[in-house]
Structure 1
């Protein structure tokens, strides 16, 4: 029996297109993913980018849930440093009232992490671990985000995501407040507070993390499922899942750890075509890592014509090397390696190509290959 396979969608905007078309594409893929056999359909939260339309997960989740019937729909992740626990519970409580029992509330600590990243600039950084291969899985050298964090653009964006003088609360406190609101046990200064809609919502709470830090610890200590990020932070995925499992305590939700691991994939009938479709990926990642924000995803021809240096290549090499690109059997085998090495209970794939039809086909081909044994 293969582990479940799910989708993370950034609602990418292709060059020459717009946000409206990107969102319609997302809804179309979600409907198809349900028929392909995918377990969950998650959407991300990104801001200040010309190339990603998924800025408000709860709104987009509502559109997807209304257009589908069975597939679980959720956030990967709501960045709780930018809004209150109350607002998150109300949003997902409203969605659960209309689509009961189908929603995943994935939480990330981006707001707090932004502040910590700025504070860490003055501290000495440990030497990065060299790239290595663990039982067939590439673990590259960790990318250094310090230049990006130090940029004036980063500071302006961080300020705009919050009310003036606001301070992101501790992530563990936010998670506990969200759990208490949903359970109907929240109290402050001796006053019980109840949230409608939200209290009693049948949402599945998840914690997303990229390292062996607070997110992994919070998920483990509270007995919640944990989503580890190989597709964005491949260098730290093993540390993240190890920290989560070490911190895990059984709860009313789980009696054992449950780990989901993400991967970036592009699948096509031939390896050559898959590499062609994935060829703009490096340029797209480069735009993020240099602080511009994700650009509209180029065509392969546009990517080939763009200036590109050895320094540009080095900046994104870890992400290119850990993107799974190829035929259905090739990509499925690399996913099986990822699952085996991380001991993941579920995998989450994200795919970006310029043309919507190529993206749909990639998800379909992978699903047919992945679930072939179960259907035999």
Structure 2
């Protein structure tokens, strides 16, 4: 059961969204070591959750086998909640997800979250390779979700049972970047996590719908929203802006359709952008989706974000190339919110 009480700025729960990013010049194995190290530090710093996101066919992202990495991280930590941000349900048979997360919950009781999305997390060719058919799509997501939730119910008379899975109270979250999942989460009385870190233009509309349409349920009595935000914090504004150039290069490559690992920061990012590209991705690299700066700058902009959205929780992504600098960014945010 999630506590839906409102939070003040200095006590709002903080969580982490990790993609097990693969740095240029590094390896998948090292990215997993970095994820575990980050989760262990985050646990000490008081972060609430550590979520991993399902993506496929991306040379810079190693979190494709999401449930496997969740188990790896949960086994290396003690108290932090670990989950999916999210599992892309159309890619999977609901029974398989029920069994996987039922297994995780049995191994790590009361620490597993199941965040669900309806996007493929990949291109169409990869989606076909995952599903062997494109008949399963985001349009069937409500039906797939209902089937998945049924597998978690204890019914010894059912012809097909999820074992492990049945009878387990695993928190289910709906993830979204538009109003579809906002409406569905409200109708089902489920917690909602909005991808404001890459879809800021739909944020306020989705939040309004979720709060207006929310119906209390056994899982949740009041609306509960966790919002994604990119934060790159450093000792000074200049250092943070320099670190952020890795993230900017990543977004530029995605827009160009170029597959790449996470690149090192550069001294003059303007040489990488045309005027059209700078305008096209500008809003994704600025407040409210992205906050870059010193602790003072980040705290001021984060306070404005929380005030504008009335978020119950924040889930932070930090695309920083240097692992120690990435750790420091999360530590600075935890310190300012503590």
TM-score by length of 2: 0.91
Equivalent residue for 1:92? 101
Structure 2 counterpart of 1:273? 239
In structure 2, the residue matched to 1:283 is 249
Alignment match, 1:122: none
Say if 2:86 and 2:175, in contact at 8 Å, map to a contact too: yes
Please, which of 209, 212, 221 is the counterpart of residue 179 of structure 2?
212
> Does the CA-based 8 Å contact 1:10-1:53 persist in structure 2?
yes
Name structure 1 gaps, 5 residues minimum: 115-153, 372-376
| Aligned positions of 1:15-34 closer than 5 A | 15-34=24-43
The verdict on how the C-alpha distance between 1:180 and 1:20 changes in structure 2, with shifts beyond 3 A counting, is same
Q: Aligned match of 1:104 in 97, 104, 113?
A: 113
Paired residue for 1:128?
Answer: none
Deviations 1:168-216 (A, max 9, x none): 36111111111111122598xxx54321001122311100011112x11
Verify: 1:164 aligned to 2:130, yes or no.
no
Per the alignment, do residues 61 and 105 of structure 1 end up closer, same or farther by CA in structure 2, a change over 3 Å counting? same
Counterpart of 2:324 (choices 333, 352, 357) is 357
Structure 1: how far apart are the matches of 2:225 and 2:134? 36
Match of 1:235 among 171, 194, 201: 201
The question of 1:300 aligning with 2:269 is answered: no
SS at match of 1:261: strand
Matched, 1:321 2:286: yes
Hey, what's the Cα distance between the residues in 2 that align with 1:264 and 1:243?
Answer: 23
Task: Give the aligned partner of residue 78 of structure 1.
Answer: 87
TM-score by length of 1: 0.82
Cα RMSD for the two superposed structures: 2.0
* Secondary structure, counterpart of 1:240 in structure 2: helix
Instruction: Tell me the CA shift for residue 341 of structure 1.
Output: 1.2
Q: Is the Cα contact below 8 Å between 2:197 and 2:230 reproduced in 1?
A: yes
Aligned counterpart, 2:313: 346
**Could you list the per-position Cα deviations for residues 324-371 of structure 1 after superposition, in whole angstroms to 9, with x for gaps in the alignment?**
001123212222222221111111111011110000000011101111
Q: Number of paired residues?
A: 326
CA contact (8 A) 1:45 1:76 kept: yes
Please give the alpha-carbon distance, in whole angstroms, between the structure 2 residues aligned to 1:291 and 1:14. Answer: 18
Partner of 2:4: none
Structure 2: gaps spanning 5 or more residues = 1-7
Q: Distance in 2 between matches of 1:364 and 1:245?
A: 32
Query: Is the CA contact 2:91–2:127 (under 8 Å) kept in the aligned structure 1?
Result: no
Q: Mapping of 1:27-176 within 5 angstroms?
A: 27-111=36-120, 154-164=123-133, 166-168=135-137, 170-176=140-146
Name the CA shift for 1:305/1:334 in 2 (closer, same or farther; >3 Å).
Answer: closer
1:284-306 Cα shifts (integer Å, max 9, x gaps): 1121223334x211112387496
SS of 2:266 mapped into structure 1: helix
Q: Which moved more, 1:47-56 or 1:91-100?
A: 47-56
The alpha-carbon distance between structure 1 residues 186 and 264, as it changes in their structure 2 partners (threshold 3 A), is farther
Residue pairs, 1:191-202, within 5 angstroms: 192-202=159-169
Whole-Å separation in 1 of the counterparts to 2:302 and 2:258: 31
Q: C-alpha displacement at 1:165, in angstroms?
A: 5.4
Change (3 A) 1:304 1:337: closer
Residues 104-154 of structure 1: CA deviation (Å, up to 9, x unaligned): 00000014x98xxxxxxxxxxxxxxxxxxxxxxxxxxxxxxxxxxxxxxx4
Residue in structure 2 matched with residue 181 of structure 1 by the alignment:
151
Q: Which of structure 1's runs of 4+ aligned residues deviate more than 4 A? A: 302-307
CA distance in 1, matches of 2:35, 2:299: 23
* SS of match in other structure, 2:152: helix
Distance 1:325 1:167 in 2: 39
**Conserved in 1, the CA contact under 8 Å of 2:87 and 2:114?**
yes
